[in-house]
Structure 1
Amino acid sequence: MQDCRILITRPEPENALSCERICDHGWSAVALPMLEISPIKDSKQRDAIRSQVFNIDTFDYVIFVSKNAARLACDWLDACWPMLPVGIHWIGIGQGTTQALQDEGVPALSNPGHTTEALLDWLKPAKMTNQKILIVRGLGGRPELGKKLEERGAKISYLSLYERKKPDYSAQTFFMLPDINLIWVTSGESLDNLSDYVTQHKPEWKTLPILTPSIRVNQQAKEMGWINASCANGADDNSLIKATEFHTGK
C-alpha cells in the first residue's frame, strides 16, 4: 500500500495535525472527524469552572483524560493563575495528552501506558488514600477512573470543560469520499459514531484495516463487526504511525 489513503477520525483541531503528519510520511489523509468538541458555553457552567480552577491548588493530583481536556484546561489556567500553583501532581493519560500539557508549561507526567487502565496500575493503591484528585474531562466521560480511585480511598472531583457531539454527515458526504485503505480511530465514542455511519453508508469499510488506541476499543471494534481491527497501543500520532507502517510495509 505505497499510496495508502488513511481516514482520520480525530476531532479537530487534532485531526488537521494528524493529517499533516500522515502526509509527511508519504501517505494520503482523508479527514472525517467522528467527534465534535464544543467548549462549555453556558455562563453559569463557566462560572462554576472558573471557581474550580481558582481552587485547583487544593488538589494533590490533577489528571487530564485527553488532549482536548489539556488544551482547554491550559486556557483556563492561563486566565486564573499567572503562575502555576506548586505541590500538584499533574498527570496526562497518554503521551499526546502529556506532551500537550508540557508544551503549555505544565510539568505533567505520564504513566508508561496510554489508557485509564494503565494509569490505575501505575498509581499505587497505598498512595491514593485521602488524596484529593481532580479529573479534567468532557461532560459524561467514562466513570471507571474515578470509581477505581475512590475504591482506593481517594477523594474525587471532576472538572468538565467540553461536550462531545456526533457530527452530522449526510449520505452525500460518504458518496464523495475517495477510496480508503486504512482507518484511524482514537476513542470508543468515535468508533461508535463511525460504525453508525458505516453501517448506513459504507458497510464495505468493515473489512478495511482499522487501528484502535487500546485493547478495550479494539475488542469493541471486533464486536461491532470490524473484521480487521488492530490495536496501535496508543491514541497518539506516533503510535498510530508505527502501526500504519506495519500495515503498509513502509
Structure 2
Amino acid sequence: MPNHHILITRPEPENQLSCERVIAHGWHAASLPMLAIEAINDPQKIAQIRSQVFNIDEFNYVIFVSKNAARLACEWLDQCWPMLPIGVNWIGIGQGTTQTLLDEGVPAIANPGHTTEALLAWLKPVKMRDQKVLIVRGHGGRPELGQQLEDRGAKVSYLSLYERKKPLYHAQTFFMLPDINLIWVTSGEGLTHLSEYVMQHKPEWLSLPIFTPSERVNQLALELGWKKASCAHGADDTSLINATEIHTGL
C-alpha cells in the first residue's frame, strides 16, 4: 500500500502525530481534522475550573475521557498541585489517554479495552457505591459514563476543560486533497462532521474503507451510509495501524 493515502481525521495536535506514524510505516497521510478542540477561556469558567482542580483531592476516582482532557488537565494540575494528592485513582479511557497522563507524571492506569463501555464493565458496581468520581471531559460530552456510575451508587461530578467544534472547510479543501484510499475516524462526533462534508463534496468516499474506534461508532458509520466500515477496537494509532495492516495484507 505504499502509494495509497490514508485520511486522518482526529483533532490536532494528535492529528500531526498520527500522520507522522503513518508516514513512518511507509504510507501516505492526508490530514483533515473533523473536530477542533478549543480550551475554555471564559474568565468565569476558568475560575470555576481552578476551584475544582484545587479540590481534586476530594475524589476517589478521576477519569479522563480523551487525550485532550488529559493534556489540558495536566496543565491545570501543574499550576495547582506541585505534588499530586495521595489516594486518588487516576484512570484514562484507552491506552493513548493513559500514556498522555503517564508522560506528564500522573500515575494513571487504563481499563482493559478502549471505550466507555469497557470501563464500565471493568469498574465493579460494588466498588463504586458512595465513591466520589470526577469525570474530566469536553463540554457536553457523552452522558452514559456518569449516568451509569450514578446508577451504581457513585457520586459523580464533571470537569469540562474544552469545547469541541466543527472545523470550517470549503469545497476547495476537498478537491485539493490527493486521491484517498482509506479513512481513519476516532470519535462519533468527528464521524458525523465528516459524513456531512462527504455528502456535500465527496459522496464517492462512502464506498471507501473507513476504520472506527468502537462498535458504537462503527454502527453509526453504517447508519450514515458508509459501505465499508470496520471497527479497529481503539482510537489510538496502534489499533488503527494494526487494522489497516490486516485490511491491506501488509
TM-score for both structures, normalised by structure 2: 0.99
Using the alignment, how far apart are the partners of 1:173 and 1:24 within structure 2? 25
The corresponding residue for 2:175 is 175
Using the alignment, how far apart are the partners of 2:120 and 2:211 within structure 1? 24
Q: Is the 8 A contact 1:92 1:98 kept in 2?
A: yes
User: 1:165 offset after TM fit, Å?
Assistant: 0.2
1:57 aligns with 2:57: yes
Using the alignment, how far apart are the partners of 1:145 and 1:243 within structure 2? 27
User: 1:7 offset after TM fit, Å?
Assistant: 0.2
The corresponding residue for 1:19 is 19
Using the alignment, how far apart are the partners of 1:84 and 1:178 within structure 2? 47
Runs of 4+ in 1 over 6 A off after TM superposition: none
Identical pairs, percent: 75
Amino acid in structure 2 at the alignment position of 1:207: S
Using the alignment, how far apart are the partners of 1:179 and 1:47 within structure 2? 47
CA-based RMSD of the aligned residues comes to 0.5
The corresponding residue for 2:41 is 41
TM-score for both structures, normalised by structure 1: 0.99
Amino acid in structure 1 at the alignment position of 2:74: C
User: 1:247 offset after TM fit, Å?
Assistant: 1.4
Q: Kindly provide the CA deviation profile for residues 5-59 of structure 1, in whole angstroms up to 9, marking residues without a partner as x.
A: 1000010000000000000000000000000000000000000000000000000
Using the alignment, how far apart are the partners of 1:241 and 1:101 within structure 2? 22
Amino acid in structure 1 at the alignment position of 2:148: K
5+ unaligned residues in a row in structure 2: which ranges?
none
The corresponding residue for 1:194 is 194
The corresponding residue for 1:108 is 108
Deviates more, 1:142-151 or 1:240-249: 240-249
User: 1:2 offset after TM fit, Å?
Assistant: 3.4
Q: Is the 8 A contact 1:23 1:29 kept in 2?
A: yes
Q: Is the 8 A contact 1:2 1:248 kept in 2?
A: no
The number of residue pairs the alignment matches comes to 250
Secondary structure of the residue that 1:20 maps to in structure 2? helix
